Structures are given as structure tokens and as C-alpha cells.
């Protein structure tokens, strides 16, 4: 499931034999499989200007670092790390992913980490190899050093550091989120795999297809074991996967969802489901207790293994199909940028005034309908729920669907001009869906934690959402938790209806 190819895992050459597999036969088989799965290497492009950076650290993983810096860049910009797939390189990923054009539009840095055939004969990140996928080791450590260098040399905001990647790069994205949750606030895994799925070439191909099925708790444990001293908060994660991917089968999107929802203490049932993009990509959101999106899964219809792009000059288009494994469908980099919260950090914001008269005109158990006064010169409107942009509307009204009964949300809107630039945000309005009754659970702290209603830290148990201290993590301490809204728990001993 590597870069464009699956996470192709061929071993390294003899000069790095200390990290290569002992069996030449296994290596040969891996190479043959990878070549068959990945196809020919994509042609190189030179459209995007990248700056090669050397001396960023000890670089134990022997990676290359390239930076894309927009002409207009605010102080303390956010930074997105981009990890290519097998047979790809930094330049091709920059030319076709759409990330540089979004960086121009919204004012953030992009760092393209690149592996080489000296590390892996098919230029796959070694996401399956313990010498590269652990904190402080190999390729993972090199990317961490790039992140530190970007802060010191470019003034990047260490609190807004993100990572995304395709296939093997997607699997390496999982590695970075698990090994360095203290560095990366969020990540987007494209056609990738859950962390801890493989420990060698053979298990890597099994993970890619037919996939490995573990419980959410088992997957979560593998991430916790990557940095045992870390107790949270965990990075937010977006998953992108083509529904016809036969290289890294779509089952991996479910396993990734299970892994990260379990870490966030969330149910594996979506809080909200909708469709996005020109091809009606299925968009599933998993909400934290405060209503923010902790995990999302995007299932792209009618495409196989690759990065979804949508070439063109439209406001929601980006990327190119000039190389293998960039598939014309939906501009995933745009939606990933939104998920990271970078879309509104435009160096040149729009000048349209804030809409007035925003009101919630009606609500049902699962919907809230909004209306506001039209703004002269507006091409459309950006609608935000709980601080996150969720949609655009061509008219001065919008119905938010797929909500949880009895849940409360805060909305704002902003007008956008014909160039897609966002004006000032309106005042906020709070709305609550109808229905919904509090659900109560009485159990031991151990049972609450196993069910995802609580988490542990330092031997103590904390309610998911409210973070109330429930006492020691064991089977002897009993509490009643009230769930309202969905996924938010408070201690309600003797006071739950």
C-alpha cells in the first residue's frame, strides 16, 4: 500500500545490509511482487519549484528533504509534510498532488520528504521495518528532524504541524502519527494502512491484501505502544481510500478508522455521514465530545489505488494526472487542507462583509436548517459548524444533515467571492436538534474504559468528553456515566434518569 503502489516493502541494498532481510529469496519475491503491483515509475516533472535542504539533522534514515515556500507567507506558518508512494519522488508528488497550489492559496509551508532506491529498491518508505517505524529510529527519526528544522529555520508553527502521504507514504503517515503524537497535530492517510500492521515483507503484503482484522482496542494498543509515555491528546486523522483499490484493499480504511476512533474513545459508528466533491465521495465524521471531527473517513467511488485529484482552475479543484497513481476524481488535498484547519489562513483574505441575520429556522432529530441575509457580490457561502467548515451553499440558506438527536452545535457563515476567497465570518448562532435522551451506563472503571466511555492516564480513569477523574483504573471502582450528547460522558452517580 505504499505510495502510488501498495506499501511495497522490498529490502535495502547491501550497503545497508544491517537493515535488510536475511533471505535473498524473500527479497527477490518482494521485488517481483512490488514491480507487478506498482507498474512503471512515473515520469518526472519540473513544474513546481522545490528547495533541497541539507544539514537538517543526523538523518539516520538517509532521506532527502525538499521545501515548497509560497511567495506570500505569513509569520509562523503552518507546515504540511507530504510523503510520496512507491516508485514516486518528491518532485512528482509536488507536481501532481495539488498541495503547492493550496499552499499558495492559504499560506502554509509544504515539506516533501523523499526516500531513495538506496533505502528501498522501489523507493518505498519502509513503514513495515522496525528500524524505520519506531520513535527515534531510521526514517521516522529523519522526518522528525525535518520537522524540528522547519521550525528553527523557517519559523514554522510547531503547534500546526501536519502530515499526509499516499500508499507507503500513507503507511508512513500512520507511523509518524503513532511515534510522534507530540509533533503532528493531525494527519491524512491516503490509500494507506494502520500503524503496527506489519513487521516484515510477508506481513506487509498480507496487510495490503486481504487485510488484517483486529479489534479497535488491539489496534489502539499498537499505537500506544509506539510512545508509551504519551497520554494524549491524540492526533486527528483523515482517511482516504478508493473503493476499487485492489493493491491496498478498502478494508484498511475500516481498520484505520477502528484504530483512531478507539484512541479517541469514540464509537465506530459515524456521527454524521454526507457526500462531498463532484463524484459524491462518501464522507464519514466521528465527533469528539466537543463536536469537533476527531476522525473522518472518505470513501472515493470508482477509483483504484492512488491519490484522488481533480485538475482544473475551479475553487474546489487541484492536482494533476501527469503521473501514475494520481486519479481524476476529487481534490483530496483540498479536503485534507480543510481537515487540518488551514483553509481560512489565506494570506490575502476576501473583502466581503460578514453575513447578517444568521438564524436557525428549524430543527429535527437529525437536521438543523439555517438562513441569513444575502451579501452583495457573494458567489456562494462557506458554512461552519463548531469551528470547522462543513459545506458551501449557493443560496443564503443551508440544511445540515446527519446530526445526532439532542445534540447542540454552533454555526457561522462567510460569503465567498468569485475567486473563492472567504470574507468575514458572521456572528454565531447555536442550535439544538430535537429528541435524544441521556443514556446511562453503570460499570467498573475497567469496563467503562474497555467500552470506550473512559480513558486512562497515570493509573487513573477519566470520562471521555468531560475528562472528569473517576478514580483508579480497576474493576473495583464503580461509577455511572451519562452520555449526552453522543460520545460525551459525565459522572452521574445517583443522578442519572
Q: Which residues are catalytic?
A: 167
Q: Return d(Cα 121, Cα 124) in angstroms, integer.
A: 8
- Which cell is 454 given? 473512559
Burial 223-246 (b: 16+ CB within 10 A, else e): bbebbeebeeebbbbbbbbbeebe
Angle (nearest 5°) at CA 272 between 276 and 297? 60
**Cβ contact 304:313 at 8 Å:** no
- Which cell is 497 given? 434518569
Cα–Cα distances in angstroms (integers) from residue 13 to residues 10, 131, 132, 226, in the given order: 9, 15, 15, 27
Q: What are phi and psi of 376, to 5 degrees?
A: -60, 130
Q: Return d(Cα 141, Cα 135) in angstroms, integer.
A: 6
**Cβ contact 167:248 at 8 Å:** yes
Q: What are phi and psi of 349, to 5 degrees?
A: -70, 160
Three-state secondary structure readout of 370-419: EECCCCCCCCEEEEEECCEEEEEECCCEEEECCCCCCCEEEEEEEEECCC
Q: Return d(Cα 29, Cα 200) in angstroms, integer.
A: 13
Cα–Cα distances in angstroms (integers) from residue 462 to residues 65, 486, 495, in the given order: 40, 17, 18
Helices 216-224 and 168-179 pack at an angle, to 10 degrees, of: 70
- Which cell is 170 given? 500513507
Amino acid at each position: 500500500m505504499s505510495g502510488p503502489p501498495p506499501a511495497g516493502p522490498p529490502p535495502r541494498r547491501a550497503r545497508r545490509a544491517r537493515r535488510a532481510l536475511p533471505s535473498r529469496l524473500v527479497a527477490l519475491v518482494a521485488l517481483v511482487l512490488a514491480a507487478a503491483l506498482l507498474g512503471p515509475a512515473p515520469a518526472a516533472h519540473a513544474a513546481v519549484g522545490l528547495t533541497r535542504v541539507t544539514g537538517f539533522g543526523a538523518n539516520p534514515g538517509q532521506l532527502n528533504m525538499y521545501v515548497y515556500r509560497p511567495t506570500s507567507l505569513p509569520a509562523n506558518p503552518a507546515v504540511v509534510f507530504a510523503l510520496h508512494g512507491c516508485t514516486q519522488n518528491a518532485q512528482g508528488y509536488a507536481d501532481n498532488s495539488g498541495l503547492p497550489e493550496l499552499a499558495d492559496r492559504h499560506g502554509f509551508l509544504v515539506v516533501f520528504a523523499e526516500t531513495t532506491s538506496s533505502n528501498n529498491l522501489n523507493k518505498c518508505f519502509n513503514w513495515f521495518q522496525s528500524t524505520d517505524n519506531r520513535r527515534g529510529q531510521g526514517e521516522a527519526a529523519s522526518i522528525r528532524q525535518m520537522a524540528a528544522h522547519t521550525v528553527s529555520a523557517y519559523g514554522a508553527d510547531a503547534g500546526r504541524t501536519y502530515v499526509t502521504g499516499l500508499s507507503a507514504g500513507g503507511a508512513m503517515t500512520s507511523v509518524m502519527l503513532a511515534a510522534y503524537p507530540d509533533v503532528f497535530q493531525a494527519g491524512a492517510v491516503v490509500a494507506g494502512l494502520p500503524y503496527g500492521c506489519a513487521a516484515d515483507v510477508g506481513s506487509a503484503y498480507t496487510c495490503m491484501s486481504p487485510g488484517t482484522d483486529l479489534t479497535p482496542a488491539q489496534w489502539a494498543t499498537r499505537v500506544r505502544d509506539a510512545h508509551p509515555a504519551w497520554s494524549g491528546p491524540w492526533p486527528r486523522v483523515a482517511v482516504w481510500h478508493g473503493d476499487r483499490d485492489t493493491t491496498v484493499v478498502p478494508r484498511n480504511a475500516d481498520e484505520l478508522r477502528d484504530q483512531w476512533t478507539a484512541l479517541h474513545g469514540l464509537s465506530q459508528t459515524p456521527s454524521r455521514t454526507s457526500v462531498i466533491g463532484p463524484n459524491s465521495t462518501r464522507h464519514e465524521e466521528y465527533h469528539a465530545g466537543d463536536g469537533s471531527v476527531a476522525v473522518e473517513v472518505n470513501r472515493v467511488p470508482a477509483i483504484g489505488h492512488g491519490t484522488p485529484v481533480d485538475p482544473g482552475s475551479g475553487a474546489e479543484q487541484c492536482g494533476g494526472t501527469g503521473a501514475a497513481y494520481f486519479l481524476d476524481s476529487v481534490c483530496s488535498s483540498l479536503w485534507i487542507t480543510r481537515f487540518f484547519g488551514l483553509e481560512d489562513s489565506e494570506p490575502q483574505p476576501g473583502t466581503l462583509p460578514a453575513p447578517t441575520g444568521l438564524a436557525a429556522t428549524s430543527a429535527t432529530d437529525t437536521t438543523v436548517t439555517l438562513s441569513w441575509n444575502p451579501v452583495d457580490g457573494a458567489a456562494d457561502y462557506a458554512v461552519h459548524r463548531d469551528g470547522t467548515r462543513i459545506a458551501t451553499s449557493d443560496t443564503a440558506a443551508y440544511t445540515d444533515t446527519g446530526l445526532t438527536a439532542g445534540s447542540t452545535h454552533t454555526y457561522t457563515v462567510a460569503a465567498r467571492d468569485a475567486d473563492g476567497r472567504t470574507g468575514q465570518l458572521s456572528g454565531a448562532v447555536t442550535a439544538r436538534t430535537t429528541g435524544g435522551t441521556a443514556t446511562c451506563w453503570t460499570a467498573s472503571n475497567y469496563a467503562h474504559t474497555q467500552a470506550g466511555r473512559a480513558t486512562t492516564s497515570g493509573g487513573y480513569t477519566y470520562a471521555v468528553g468531560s475528562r472528569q477523574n473517576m478514580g483508579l483504573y480497576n474493576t473495583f471502582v464503580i461509577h455511572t456515566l451519562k452520555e449526552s450528547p453522543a460520545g460525551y460522558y459525565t459522572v452521574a452517580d445517583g443522578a442519572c434518569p
